[in-house]
Amino acid sequence: MTARRPRRNIVIVGGSIAAVTAAQVLRAEGYQGRLTMLSAETHLPYSRVPLSKSVLSGAADITTCALPISTESVDVRLGQPVVGLDDQAHCVHVANGDAINYDGLIVTSGARARRLARPGQSGEYVLRDASDIPALVERLFAARTVVVIGAGFLGMEIATTCTTLGLDVTVIDRDPPLRRLLGTWLSALVVAKAEASGVRFVRADKGVSLLGDGHVSGVAYDDVTLQADLVISAVGDIPNTEWLQRSRLRAAGAIVVDQQCFASPDIVAAGDVAAIRQPDGSITRLPHWNNAVRQARTAALSLLHGRDAPIAEPDHYFWTDAFGMQIKVCGRIPEQHDPIILERDDTQGSYLVQWTGSDGNPSAAATVNRKLPVVKLRRLATDAGVVAT
């Protein structure tokens, strides 16, 4: 799979940070051909990071989240969902009936929120895209009690916003909140702050179901029912690959690509829709901002330069803001191991910590309410001899 001819007509499917990054890299590399971005959304590309925070609370709107993209150098077509791919004829089919040809295709169609509602149920709210905001905000400001299903990053950020609005909040999950993501020690810090803010946590080992034959009125777990004015699900996502089913890619779930983001000689993929096959045969999908950016850069370079492009190295750097705690993590946190506390300031609620693996070498590092350049945090996650300053 190599770039055997110059690209003159590249199409990007999607309007996410991965799509914008790919477009920027193509132009920065000197690509001067036609560049078309097809986005199902009606907004120009924006960052999803503030949606669960300032946008949901009403402190900001979607215009403040805009990503930098030049509509003069990119033909951005909004409200144009792609419904099919004919990879043999090198064209994508749009819902309005158009067939758009390409000689290079970048798939950044992202993912959508997973839902728990049964057929016929309405009133389950999710937060994934800008289109989810208006109805959720309207309901949020009319509610007094909220159940958030899912205690991952998104669920906890939504719960944070709900508490700042003065709502009665319950968070329910089958797993301990944030433990798989942040480990026992760090997740306990967040849970303690959340409980101090009035959040109740419920463990539902067997999962939950939504109450109501029509409109959702709460949740049920084990033999317990929990009524609420508002139910918000934050239970993961589903890659948007249905439009590929009649192509030779036939992705079931994420599109599996190689380390240079190739799915086929003329098709690359990046972001939440992509999963990378590693040299050991494992397949990793890391739906974080930094990975979307890294993969998009590699995808664009691969279309232009073939096998001379760099590989997309997995980036285990992520961050979250919840209950007054700004947390940044590099590396993989051992779930059951406590970290070494390198710095602690109780007056600021700040920490700098480092975890070691079974071999005694550093495996992860994190800051809590503590400013530290990311490059130094990365080094702390891999080098026992680094001293933070």
What are the tens digits of pLDDT across the range 68-99?
Answer: 998 889 999 999 999 999 999 999 999 999 99
DSSP line for 252-312: SSSEEE-TT-EEETTEEE-GGGEEEEPTTS-EE---SHHHHHHHHHHHHHHHHHGGGSPP-
Instruction: Tell me if 137 is assigned to some domain.
Output: yes
Q: How much is the pLDDT for 70? A: 87
Closest CA to 12 of 40, 29, 34, 36: 36
Instruction: Tell me if 317 is assigned to some domain.
Output: no
Task: Report the half-sphere exposure of 257 (CA within 13 A, side-chain side).
Answer: 32
| CB of 366 closer than 8 Å to CB of 353 | yes
How many domains does the structure of the chain reveal? 3
d(CA 357, CA 183): 13
| CB of 63 closer than 8 Å to CB of 101 | no
* Whether residue 276 sits in one domain with residue 229: no
Instruction: Tell me if 79 is assigned to some domain.
Output: yes
Residue with token string 């001293």: 387
* Whether residue 332 sits in one domain with residue 198: no
177: three-class secondary structure by DSSP: coil
What CATH code is carried by the domain that includes residue 78?
3.50.50.60
| pLDDT tens sequence across 144-175 | 999 999 999 999 999 999 999 999 999 999 99
d(CA 340, CA 363): 11
Instruction: Tell me if 389 is assigned to some domain.
Output: no
* Whether residue 253 sits in one domain with residue 171: no
* Whether residue 376 sits in one domain with residue 334: yes
Choose one of 233, 261, 282: the last residue of a domain: 233
Q: What are phi and psi of 227, to 5 degrees?
A: -85, 150
Burial code (b: 16+ CB inside 10 Å, e: under 16) for 29-38 equals eebeeebbbb
* Whether residue 163 sits in one domain with residue 23: no
For the chain, residues with pLDDT lower than 70 are 1-5, 251, 384-389
* Whether residue 283 sits in one domain with residue 271: yes
User: How does DSSP classify residue 370?
Assistant: -
* Whether residue 55 sits in one domain with residue 17: yes
Instruction: Tell me if 313 is assigned to some domain.
Output: no
Q: Give the pair of three-digit tokens for residue 372.
A: 């530290």
Provide the residue range defining the domain that includes 81. 9-112+237-308
| CB of 232 closer than 8 Å to CB of 127 | yes
DSSP line for 189-235: HHHHHHHHTT-EEEE-TT--EEE-SSB--EEEETTEEEE-SEEEE--
d(CA 241, CA 166): 39
Instruction: Tell me if 369 is assigned to some domain.
Output: yes
Helix-then-strand count for the chain, H and E: 7, 27
Instruction: Tell me if 199 is assigned to some domain.
Output: yes
Choose one of 187, 217, 233: the last residue of a domain: 233
| CB of 267 closer than 8 Å to CB of 251 | no
User: How does DSSP classify residue 376?
Assistant: H
* Whether residue 195 sits in one domain with residue 167: yes
Terminal alpha carbon distance of the chain: 46
pTM of the model: 0.93
* Whether residue 100 sits in one domain with residue 41: yes
Q: How much is the pLDDT for 253? A: 85
Instruction: Tell me if 1 is assigned to some domain.
Output: no
Q: How much is the pLDDT for 384? A: 58
* Whether residue 220 sits in one domain with residue 121: yes
CB atoms within 10 A of CB 13: 30
Choose one of 308, 335, 356: the last residue of a domain: 308
* Whether residue 347 sits in one domain with residue 256: no
β-pair type (224-227, 218-221) = antiparallel
* Whether residue 82 sits in one domain with residue 189: no
d(CA 313, CA 53): 29
